[in-house]
Structure 1
Amino acid sequence: MNYIEVELKLEPDYSEILMAELGEAGFESFVETDEGLLAYIPENDFDENELNKLTAKYQDLTAIAATWKSLERRNWNEEWEKSYEPIEVSNQVRVRATFHEPDPSFKYDLLIQPKMSFGTGHHETTWLVMNEQLSLPHQGFSVMDVGCGTGILAILASKLGATHILGFDIDEWAVENTRENFSMNNLPSKTEVFQGTITEVQKGQVFDGILANINRNILLAEIPTYVSHLKDGGWLVVSGFYETDQVDIERCAEENNLKKIRSNTRNQWACVVFEKLNNS
């Protein structure tokens, strides 16, 4: 499967809002450039008319030009390496590629080599979830990463002390990439990843914590299932939706025996932490 690379030339002030719009339209990865933005979407999901409508929406606000091309799988690492910069979260986590030197001032050093997978750390929602993970208990925990992308959230969970990790994604590239990234970060043997959805997680298998950085509609449909795989008192972190959708997410969680612990936002994206209430 090939990907489409869209190059947007625009003013820097509009990069964040365009990433948000493109994320809703199915684009999975983004790289900011000196001239604007590169965005990536599976070729089968690309709609040129939708792209034209989106750029036209902002023509009155800023000069914007969009071009696109089909990007073969083998070209991705080369393109990514040209512009990828490490990501830093709360002065504790640094996500870097193998060609970056480690920085000992950061407590948690994460290595990734994405292959068009969502979750390089640059997207607001990935940053938000990692930031929340730093305040949650992980030591000795079992953690499930729903829609794992590059596996970055699961890798941080392991570095925070989780001893059993399960990740899955519907994208075969994401699964392949997660396995490679798990290996690069020396994750323990009790680490699993498979291609599929939450429906393929064994019934009765429960976790101390669940990470779900997906999108509004999937979260609303799957939160009841997440709860069935969460231990009493366990935590659930959800992101991948706008601030305006947060009320719907919280209502669904409350209806499914979850208590809101806290929430955070970053450039119009939201993240919420819940705790499963005891059944007794």
Structure 2
Amino acid sequence: MSNIIYIEYTFRLNPVHPVSDILIAELGEAGFESFVEEEEGVLAYIQKECWSPDILNPIQILSNDAFHIEYRFKEIEQQNWNATWESNFEPIQIGNQCVVRAPFHERPNVRFDIVIMPKMSFGTGHHETTHMMLQHILDNDFDNKSVLDMGSGTGVLAILAAMKGAKAIDAIDIDHWCYLNAKENVLRNNASQIKVYEGDADLIEAKKYDIILANINRNILVRDIPIYANAMNKDGMLFLSGFYESDIAIISTNCEKVGLKLQKKLKKSDWVSIKYVFS
């Protein structure tokens, strides 16, 4: 089978934050599949068959004079991307209990050994938000719980939830590549209680969960918080990340409107992750 050809955009941003969040949200709506946040900006990927020379025309932030944004683009083959991941992906350790590694890394002596081949999916544990979400899972009781991993990326959060004893887990991502990659990683970690779906929050309309994990950008979280609350059992827990400390006010205001109370905050660099409880 021939390799999928992607178009890679390199965006250099000034300031980087909060421009990167807004840019990623707008690019996602335009059809871009995957993103990598860098110190000076963002890498964004779209399949060549979905690309056109005017793909950036609807991206409003590019015409905002308050920000300085430069970009360039090139073709990149899927196999080159995967080779890059393999050469750069180092194991990540969370506390003394959990390691996230690739199949080619040596097996560690820890309780939770998560094996991930990330490919083009988000969520290896390297990013601050994923790291904090993994810490939340380690710190809380998942035994016999029903769990939703919304915006599941590689499936790493769902896999740790399974290792922590969750009885039934739905992992959902709107990105087709993430959907395929999460299915691979679920099999790789023998996490049979995880079901992987391609789609958005509409898929949970008739479902109920004890715990919901959502590591997504702020705008999507604000939009979907009422959907999460409607899908939560009494005394359920909601863990959110993908936003900055300055965004806590708007996130918490929307959570409080639907009966979710802030219980704990983690912070790493400028990023935060928050635990809310539903009553």
Matched, 1:134 2:138: yes
- Of the candidates 156, 178, 182, which is equivalent to residue 182 of structure 2? 178
- Of the candidates 253, 262, 266, which is equivalent to residue 255 of structure 2? 253
1:150-165 correspondence runs (5 A) = 150-165=154-169
CA drift at 1:114:
1.5
Paired AA for residue 228 in structure 2:
Y
**Given the two structures, how large is their TM-score scaled by the length of structure 2?**
0.81
CA RMSD after TM alignment? 3.1
CA change 1:3–1:89 in 2 (3 A) is farther
CA distance in 1 between counterparts of 2:223 and 2:89 reads: 34
Instruction: Provide Cα deviations, 1:24-48, integer angstroms capped at 9, x if missing partner.
Output: 4228443879xx9983433559759
Instruction: Provide Cα deviations, 1:124-153, integer angstroms capped at 9, x if missing partner.
Output: 111111111111110011100101111011
Residue 116 of structure 1 aligns to a residue whose secondary structure is coil
Residue 270 of structure 1 aligns to a residue whose secondary structure is strand
CA drift at 1:200:
1.9
CA change 1:131–1:113 in 2 (3 A) is same
Instruction: Provide Cα deviations, 1:184-232, integer angstroms capped at 9, x if missing partner.
Output: 00002x32111111112251x2111000111111111111110111110
> Structure 1: 5+ residue runs without aligned partners?
59-64
CA distance in 2 between counterparts of 1:175 and 1:241 reads: 23
- Of the candidates 32, 36, 55, which is equivalent to residue 30 of structure 1? 36
Equivalent pair of 2:151/2:216 in contact (CA under 8 Å): yes
CA distance in 1 between counterparts of 2:221 and 2:117 reads: 27
Matched, 1:199 2:226: no
Paired AA for residue 150 in structure 1:
T
CA drift at 1:174:
0.6
CA distance in 1 between counterparts of 2:269 and 2:22 reads: 14
Equivalent pair of 1:31/1:84 in contact (CA under 8 Å): no
Number of matched residues? 260
CA distance in 2 between counterparts of 1:18 and 1:92 reads: 33
Equivalent pair of 2:21/2:217 in contact (CA under 8 Å): no
CA drift at 1:2:
4.3
- Of the candidates 222, 225, 228, which is equivalent to residue 224 of structure 2? 222
Matched, 1:73 2:75: no
CA distance in 2 between counterparts of 1:41 and 1:20 reads: 20
Residue 180 of structure 1 aligns to a residue whose secondary structure is helix
> Structure 2: 5+ residue runs without aligned partners?
28-33
CA change 1:123–1:23 in 2 (3 A) is farther
Residue 139 of structure 2 aligns to a residue whose secondary structure is coil
Paired AA for residue 192 in structure 1:
K
CA distance in 1 between counterparts of 2:64 and 2:79 reads: 30
**Given the two structures, how large is their TM-score scaled by the length of structure 1?**
0.81
Residue 242 of structure 2 aligns to a residue whose secondary structure is strand
CA distance in 1 between counterparts of 2:17 and 2:101 reads: 21
Equivalent pair of 1:19/1:30 in contact (CA under 8 Å): no
1:6-25 correspondence runs (5 A) = 18=16, 21-25=19-23
CA distance in 1 between counterparts of 2:278 and 2:11 reads: 42
CA change 1:117–1:20 in 2 (3 A) is farther
CA change 1:266–1:140 in 2 (3 A) is same
Aligned equivalent of 1:92: 97
Aligned equivalent of 1:61: none
Equivalent pair of 1:3/1:40 in contact (CA under 8 Å): no
- Of the candidates 92, 101, 107, which is equivalent to residue 102 of structure 1? 107
Aligned equivalent of 1:264: 266
Equivalent pair of 2:8/2:46 in contact (CA under 8 Å): no
Identity value in percent:
36
CA drift at 1:270:
1.4
CA distance in 1 between counterparts of 2:168 and 2:145 reads: 7
